[in-house]
């Protein structure tokens, strides 16, 4: 960490992030190689499309794609890739979007994949002028649903890989791609938060999208990789809807450096370090009344484990969400992974910690649990009040 914490000067709280890679907390810890590259390019001029030309083979090398480029985010990548399948290289059509008059614009997506990553997936399709065609039901889809939805207006199909999507009963990527390819429909895979940079293209994706700022530890950015013509047609959207999604030279160079650093990163060393954090937290929590800590594998198969902390409020004298809020209010603020907290558990994610913060997390957990246990009543804020408070705060911004 830098000697002087810039957050202090701004009056911002020095958050400890045990929730994972969250846009709302500043994504991830940017690797030093990316920071150096960004610093180096910032004062210089560069021909931007040539810079993207230099990045393309690096993206290709890491992903197995034919070509690639950098945009603002994975979400932007979805919009640009969809737009490219609609317009091809027709520059006039590119300028007309999101008006899709005269273009194929139906985009097939399994209903169980229509999730929110902070904004709705289907909105990323609609921004491009695409019309999402939801197939199957939330928890079941079969090949016939896909085949039955494809027609002469179909531009593309989108497949989402995420812990958010329904993890059972849906069509897997290989079969999804087979069904689409049999009718000439390109497959766009949102793999924003996945470690494996090659597997989705291997399994039949024509374009794959990653976030530059998640596991890669690059600056906020999105990586578009895939078949050359489709990638080029997505790239050309920079003359249209892509303008509002542009990235500067610093993000392009930063994410390229992060990709190169990824090739030589000590992945096993990081895993071992994270295992140490998880064991420390589990040992801290084990045996406390009403607390069950269990190490769990990542649901989409990323090489990452998390600690699931299940709480029996009767025994622990606090609900999982009240404990999460107590940790977030504390000094320093500790933000846990709480997207399933209504079931009275949250996760501790070890992948965005600076060394030493793991002991702060352990100490604060112990403090809050001891305090709750000695309370005479059970701390249980109605969950709907918590949500109401969250949205009320948002609607007051910037106050
Ligand atoms: C994070 C995420 C996104 C959004 O990625 P950004 O690069 O932040 O736009 C999209 N899809 C999935 C599955 C994600 O996890």
**Tokens at residue 322, please?**
């009240």
What totals of helices (H) and strands (E) does the chain contain, helices first? 16, 12
Give CA–CA dist 198/91, Å, rounded.
Answer: 31
Q: What is the DSSP letter of 376?
A: S
- pLDDT of residue 3 exceeding 70: no
Give CA–CA dist 271/227, Å, rounded.
Answer: 32
Distance 272 CA to ligand 1 centre (A): 26
Quick check: 217 and 26 in contact, CB under 8 A?
no
Is the CB of 310 inside a 6 Å radius of any atom of ligand 1?
A: no
pLDDT-derived band of residue 338, with 50, 70 and 90 as boundaries?
very high
pLDDT value for 277: 98
Provide mean pLDDT across the span 197-205. 98
Q: Which domains does the chain have, with CATH numbers?
A: 6-23+267-395 (3.90.1150.180), 32-264 (3.40.640.10)
**Tokens at residue 341, please?**
């907290």
Query: Is 15 exposed, middle or buried (CB count within 10 Å of its CB: 0-12, 13-18, 19+)?
Result: middle
Provide mean pLDDT across the span 294-307. 96
**Strand-strand pairing, 106-110 and 67-71:** unpaired
Mutual angle of helices 357-373 and 267-285, in 10-degree steps = 20
Query: Is 212 exposed, middle or buried (CB count within 10 Å of its CB: 0-12, 13-18, 19+)?
Result: buried
Residue nearest to atom 11 of ligand 1 (CA): 192
Is the CB of 117 inside a 6 Å radius of any atom of ligand 1?
A: yes
pLDDT value for 4: 75
Render the burial of 334-345: b for 16+ CB within 10 Å, e for the rest.
bbbbbeebeebb
What's the pTM value of the predicted model, to 2 decimals? 0.96
Distance 338 CA to ligand 1 centre (A): 17
- pLDDT of residue 2 exceeding 60: no
């Amino acid at each position: 960490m830098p000697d002087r914490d810039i957050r202090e000067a701004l009056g911002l709280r020095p958050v400890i992030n045990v929730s994972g890679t969250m846009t709302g907390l500043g994504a991830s810890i940017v690797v030093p190689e990316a920071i150096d590259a960004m610093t180096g390019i910032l004062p210089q001029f560069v021909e931007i499309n040539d810079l993207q030309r230099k990045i393309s083979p690096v993206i290709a090398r890491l992903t197995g794609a034919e070509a690639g480029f950098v945009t603002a985010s994975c979400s932007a990548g979805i919009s640009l890739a969809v737009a490219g399948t609609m317009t091809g290289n027709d520059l006039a059509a590119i300028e007309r979007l999101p008006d899709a008059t005269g273009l194929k614009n139906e985009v097939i997506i399994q209903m169980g994949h229509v999730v929110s990553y902070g904004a709705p997936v289907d909105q990323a399709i609609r921004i491009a002028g695409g019309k999402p065609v939801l197939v199957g039901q939330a928890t079941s889809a079969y090949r016939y649903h896909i085949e039955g939805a494809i027609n002469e207006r179909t531009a593309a199909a989108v497949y989402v890989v995420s812990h958010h999507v329904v993890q059972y009963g849906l069509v897997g990527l290989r079969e999804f791609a087979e069904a689409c390819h049999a009718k000439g429909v390109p497959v766009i895979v949102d793999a924003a938060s996945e470690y494996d940079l090659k597997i989705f293209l291997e399994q039949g994706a024509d374009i794959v999208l990653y976030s530059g700022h998640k596991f890669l530890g690059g600056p906020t950015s999105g990586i578009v990789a895939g078949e050359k013509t489709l990638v080029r047609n997505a790239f050309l959207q920079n003359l249209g809807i892509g303008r509002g999604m542009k990235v500067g030279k610093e993000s392009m160079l930063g994410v390229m450096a992060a990709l190169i650093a990824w090739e030589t990163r000590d992945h096993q060393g990081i895993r071992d370090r994270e295992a140490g954090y998880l064991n420390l937290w589990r040992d801290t929590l084990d045996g406390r009344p009403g607390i069950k800590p269990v190490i769990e594998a990542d649901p989409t198969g990323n090489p990452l484990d998390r600690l699931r902390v299940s709480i029996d409020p009767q025994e622990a004298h606090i609900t999982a969400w009240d404990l999460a809020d107590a940790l977030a209010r504390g000094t320093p603020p500790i933000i846990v992974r709480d997207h399933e907290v209504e079931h009275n558990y949250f996760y501790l994610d070890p992948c965005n910690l600076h060394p030493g913060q793991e002991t702060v997390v352990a100490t604060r957990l112990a403090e809050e649990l001891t305090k709750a246990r000695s309370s005479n009543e059970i701390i249980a804020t109605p969950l709907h009040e918590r949500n109401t408070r969250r949205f009320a705060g948002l609607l007051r911004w910037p106050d």
